[in-house]
Structure formats: C-alpha cells, structure tokens
Amino acid sequence: ASDHLVRISRLIRDVLELSLKLDQSPKHNLQTITLKEELQFLENYLHLEAEQHAPVFSYEIRNEASDQLLLPPLLVQPLVENAILHGILPNTGKSGRILVHFREDAGQLVITVTDNGVGLGNNRPSQGSRYRSRGGELLQKRLQLLQQLGYPAKYSVQSGPEGGVVAEIRIKIMT
C-alpha cells in the first residue's frame, strides 16, 4: 500500500512539475524533458495502471536510446493509455502485454508501443466505459506543431504481427 501511495505522489509531482515548466516557457517555445524523465513518468504510470487492473496485463519498458535525449513531455502516455483502454481491457479473458520501446535510428528517436489486445477494427470501449479517447487526435496536433518548429515527426498505427496494435512515433532527435 505504501509503494502505491509513493508512486501516486511521484506521478502527481511529475505532472505538476511538467505543467510549471510549460507555464514558464515563452509562447511558441518548445518545452522538453530528458528521455530519463519520460521513462520515470511512464514507469510510475504503467505500474499504477497495472496494479489497478491486476492481473489483466503486464508491461515492459525497453530503452536502447540515450537517457539524455530531449523530447516533449508526456509524448508517449497517450499511446500507452490507448493500448490499455482500447486494446487490453476490452480483450477479456486474455492476459495482456504492453511493450514500450525507445531506440535511435538515422537521426530519429523511434518510440513504439505494442500491445496484444483486440487489434484494429475490433477495439470497442471497455465495458461500462463512457470515456472517448482523444489521445491519437491530440498527439497528431502536437506532432504537427513540432513539425512547424522544425522537428519532423510521424505517427503511425498498424496491426501487430500477432494481433494487437503497434503504434509508433518517429521524431527528429532534438539537440
């Protein structure tokens, strides 16, 4: 129970710190955090979600990129949230798995979120849910803004090789 409270406290603190950073940045200036900070946030977020829905899914965060790379804050969380809400939770009776993978490729940071959920075309809201995800739509808008600031970025979603979904963000490495 105390570990759970500590993680909730860290998650709240992280969100507050990120919002303060965003409030203090000049308009049209790109606010960034290190990949290490994003990884810490994702670990706390996924741990709490996995505990809340135990034993519905497990997760792994794999990082093959430099911890010091810069990226916009909370870039990956909407993909993870979509994997849980629209992939894993509707897939009742099956143990879910989420893999979040970071790597560098040809001057880009490649972020992949893979799940073994219900897959594209089969995603129905989790039972009793009135929540409508806008994560993908908001992510597209953020990536368009990044492109306007000189950081080419792409977002794709496709069916996984063994079911589920693979969502990927490719963004120019920020210096």
Q: What's the CATH code of the domain at 150?
A: 3.30.565.10
Which of the given ranges, 10-19, 24-33, 65-74, 124-133, has the highest pLDDT on average? Answer: 65-74
Note the pLDDT of residue 1.
Answer: 61
Domain housing 129: 2-172
Residues paired with 167 in a beta bridge: 113, 157
pLDDT averaged over every residue in the chain? 84
CA dihedral 174, 112, 125, 141 (to 10 degrees): 20
Tell me: the pLDDT tens digits for 81-140?
999 999 999 988 889 999 999 999 999 999 999 999 999 876 554 444 444 457 778 888
Note the pLDDT of residue 126.
Answer: 45
Rounded Cα distance between 61 and 68, Å, is: 16
Q: Do 136 and 158 meet the contact criterion of CB atoms below 8 Å apart? A: no
pLDDT band at 68 (very low <50, low <70, confident <90, very high): very high
Q: Cα 69 from chain centroid?
A: 16
Q: Do 143 and 153 meet the contact criterion of CB atoms below 8 Å apart? A: yes
Q: Which residue has the higher pLDDT, 22 or 51?
A: 51
Number of domains in the chain: 1
Q: Which residue has the higher pLDDT, 131 or 157?
A: 157
Tokens for 129, please give them: 């849910």
Q: Which residue has the higher pLDDT, 171 or 128?
A: 171
Share above pLDDT 90 across residues of the chain, in percent, rounded to a whole number: 53
According to the 3-state scheme, what is the secondary structure of the chain?
CHHHHHHHHHHHHHHHHHHHHHHHCCCCCCCCEEHHHHHHHHHHHHHHHHHHCCCCEEEEEEECCCCCCEECCCCCHHHHHHHHHHHHCCCCCCCEEEEEEEEEECCEEEEEEEECCCCCCCCCCCCCCCCCCCHHHHHHHHHHHHHHCCCCEEEEEEECECECEEEEEEEECEC
Tokens for 167, please give them: 């969502």
